[in-house]
A = this chain, B = another copy of it.
């Protein structure tokens, strides 16, 4: 029995990028598109684009390229954007509020069903149109509503405890925005967003450029 190799993480992350471009192209009424053309617009290697698209199951025609409508449909299908999954968000602070309100996750296959918090001042009210429930109710509600995604936007110190409650509620995938690695059962899927790591990398690279400038004496005179 052949074990189907999982689709590479980088590919999964690029698919929404293609989707966005394709929607624009679709809006212009263009029917076909080639990998070199996509690669050119997105600054990606054409071969890489082709491999990524093939992961979704589409096939193209030499000389012509791929059918735009088909590509859009396949990506949506492949990423499960058609059957929306429900999520619970824990931590109704600034970041939590931003995720609740700003992002149009519904288009991307996820709907945040409710928010949770321990702060009595927040519980019971509604935030960006979503009810804020007391945290201790999460496990029971997650089981009852069969919610499988948990979003953590609490301070680092509280993250592990929240994650434990999510697991107790049968949640299978956790999107963790707290700067804290979680200890979880093997089968749980975790994505650590880790903004500090991202910032660290950006700032270290910048440090290098600035020192280079200082050394060669080319200041901010552009």
User: Interface residues, chain A, CB within 8 Å of chain B?
Assistant: 6-7, 9, 12-17, 20, 42-43, 78-80, 85, 93-95, 97-98, 101-103, 105, 108-110, 128, 143, 146, 148-149, 156, 170, 172-173, 175, 179-181, 183, 187, 189, 191, 193-210, 220, 222
A207:B80 contact, CB within 8 angstroms: yes
User: What copy number does this chain have within its complex?
Assistant: 2
Q: Do A205 and B173 form a contact, CB below 8 Å, given A103-B195, A198-B191?
A: yes
A197:B13 contact, CB within 8 angstroms: yes
B193:A16 contact, CB within 8 angstroms: no
Q: Do A202 and B181 form a contact, CB below 8 Å, given A13-B197, A220-B143?
A: no
B-chain residues with CB within 8 Å of residue A101 when the two chains form the complex:
94
B-chain residues with CB within 8 Å of residue A97 when the two chains form the complex:
94, 98
Assembled-state Cα–Cα distance A187/B222 (Å): 12
B-chain residues with CB within 8 Å of residue A180 when the two chains form the complex:
20
